[in-house]
Amino acid sequence: MTSRGAIDGFLRERSYEIVGAAFDLGSPARGTAEGPRALREARLMAQLGSLEKLGVSVTDGGDVTGATEGTPGSNPRNLPEMLSFSSDLMERLGETYASGRVPVVIGGDHSITVPSVAAAAEFLRALRGDDARLGLLYVDAHPDLELPLGSASESGDLHGMSVSHLLGYGVDELANLGGFGPKLDPSRIAMVGLRDVLTEEREIIREREIQAYSFIDVERLGIVEIAKRVFGLMAERCDGFVLSFDIDACDPLEAPAVLYPEPGGLTYREATIIMEEAARAEGLLGLEMVEVCPARDRDAATAKLAVSLLRTALGGIVL
Residue 230, CA distances (Å) to 141, 187, 219, 250 in order: 16, 11, 16, 18
| Rounded CA separation 104/140 (Å) | 17
User: In the predicted model, is pLDDT for residue 159 greater than 60?
Assistant: yes
User: Count of CB atoms within 10 A of residue 318's CB?
Assistant: 6
CB 156 within 8 Å of CB 175 = no
pLDDT band at 152 (very low <50, low <70, confident <90, very high): very low
Phi, psi torsion values for 30, nearest 5 degrees: -100, 170
Domain parsing of the chain, residue ranges: 3-313
**Does residue 128 surpass a pLDDT of 90?**
yes
Q: Please say if the pLDDT value at position 237 is more than 70.
A: yes
Residues assigned a catalytic role: 110, 140, 142, 144, 159, 246, 248, 291
CB 41 within 8 A of CB 301: no
Question: What is the structure's pLDDT at 8?
Answer: 76
The pLDDT assigned to 97 comes to 97
d(CA 5, CA 46): 32
Closest CA relative to residue 17, chosen from 316, 271, 315, 314: 314
pLDDT at res. 291: 98
Overall fold of domain 3-313: Arginase; Chain A (3.40.800)
